Amino acid sequence: MSSDPKNPKDTPSPPPTHVHTDLGVRIFTYPKIIFIFPSMIAALICGMGMVLVGDRTVDPTKAPAVAAPAQPGGQQAPAVEKIRRFTSTQNILAIFFLAVFAFNMLVMAIDFPRFTVIAGLLLCLALAFFFLWLNAYFDLIPPLVKFLENIYAAANAQFYFLLATVILLGLGLIYVTRWLDYWEVLPNEILHHHGPLSDLERYPTFNLKFDKEIPDVLEFLFLGSGRLVLHPQSEQKSIVLDNVLFINTKEAALKRLLSRLEVSVSTESDTPGSK
């Protein structure tokens, strides 16, 4: 007895070809100057502080002295307390800004690996304890205070706000121009977009390997910055991407992208004579 022909509607359709919907991972690299943003924040804080103190920049020791009121009975007026200019508000704000700016320059100029940072902290602690030990025998605090009293720096609020504006404009320009040179990792290829006309270079991602490096701990603490090194199998040289922000997020996205195996499934239709 012959079997009834199958209804075409009952025949299961072949599984659809997998369509990739992931747009890939965009990787932007930034210049070192991007890490100057703490100086901008310090400038804004100092500018607001100067506004609160009335934008006073005059050296306290050179300000006109106020005559003491006469005492009844010819008594001697109490001694005027010595004015300290180092601890004046305008000087403290200026020293704070200069300290942050100097620290910023140091971070951008030198890479601080993990062991370097730990060694630096231990050295600072050792020097602090050594100074306290010397102070117990030689009373070094008064000479230090006298030296600090010779330091006086002040700037008005307008200076701090203008400086913060200049830094902000520079950071904004960097953010806009990052689209002139960036990388895009897709499941099947790596695209390098560069140039004002968006020139394009392509690299295969077959058996792509990549490494994550943290050359500077302080930059990593600032913006999660690090280095990505891509190793395309068909290229002799590796692709080194420095100053990639929030690198842990990029690493996780690359792992998800490269672990996805894309397979295109093809089926053969049944022929009349097939069994």
Whether 40 is in a domain gets the answer yes
**Could you tell me if 244 and 207 lie in one domain?**
yes
Strands (E), the chain: 25-28, 181-185, 189-194, 199-204, 209-213, 226-231, 239-244
Q: Mean pLDDT over all residues of the chain?
A: 81
**Could you tell me if 224 and 248 lie in one domain?**
yes
**Could you tell me if 253 and 121 lie in one domain?**
no
**Could you tell me if 133 and 104 lie in one domain?**
yes
Please report, rounded to a whole number, the percentage of residues in the chain having pLDDT higher than 70. 78
**Could you tell me if 152 and 206 lie in one domain?**
no
**Could you tell me if 39 and 170 lie in one domain?**
yes
Q: Which residue has the higher pLDDT, 4 or 106?
A: 106
Q: Output 102-107 pairs: Cβ under 8 A, ≥24 positions apart.
A: 103/38, 104/35, 104/36, 104/38, 104/39, 107/35, 107/216, 107/218, 107/219, 107/222
Whether 220 is in a domain gets the answer yes
Q: Give this prediction's pTM.
A: 0.74
**Could you tell me if 235 and 136 lie in one domain?**
no
Whether 246 is in a domain gets the answer yes
Last-in-domain residue among 133, 148, 176: 176
Whether 119 is in a domain gets the answer yes
**Digit-coded pLDDT (tens) for 40-86:** 999 999 999 999 999 988 888 776 555 455 555 555 555 445 567 78
**Could you tell me if 119 and 144 lie in one domain?**
yes
Q: Indicate if the pLDDT at residue 149 is higher than 70.
A: yes
Last-in-domain residue among 151, 176, 201: 176
Whether 72 is in a domain gets the answer no
Q: Indicate if the pLDDT at residue 261 is higher than 50.
A: no
**Could you tell me if 43 and 127 lie in one domain?**
yes
Which residues are paired to 184 by β-bridges? 26, 191
**Could you tell me if 220 and 155 lie in one domain?**
no
Whether 267 is in a domain gets the answer no
Whether 144 is in a domain gets the answer yes
How many domains is the chain partitioned into structurally?
2
CA dihedral angle for residue 107, residue 109, residue 114, residue 116, rounded to 10 degrees: -110
Whether 65 is in a domain gets the answer no
**Digit-coded pLDDT (tens) for 157-190:** 999 999 999 999 999 999 999 999 999 999 888 9
Q: Which residue has the higher pLDDT, 271 or 203?
A: 203
**Could you tell me if 225 and 148 lie in one domain?**
no
Last-in-domain residue among 121, 148, 176: 176
Host domain of residue 196: 25-29+183-258
**Could you tell me if 169 and 189 lie in one domain?**
no
What pLDDT was estimated at residue 145?
78
Q: Indicate if the pLDDT at residue 15 is higher than 70.
A: no
What pLDDT was estimated at residue 161?
97
Mean pLDDT of 240-246: 95
Q: 214: part of which helix (H) or strand (E)?
A: none
Q: How confident is the model at residue 2 (pLDDT cuts 50, 70, 90)?
A: very low
3-state helix, strand, coil in the chain (%, to 5): 45, 15, 40
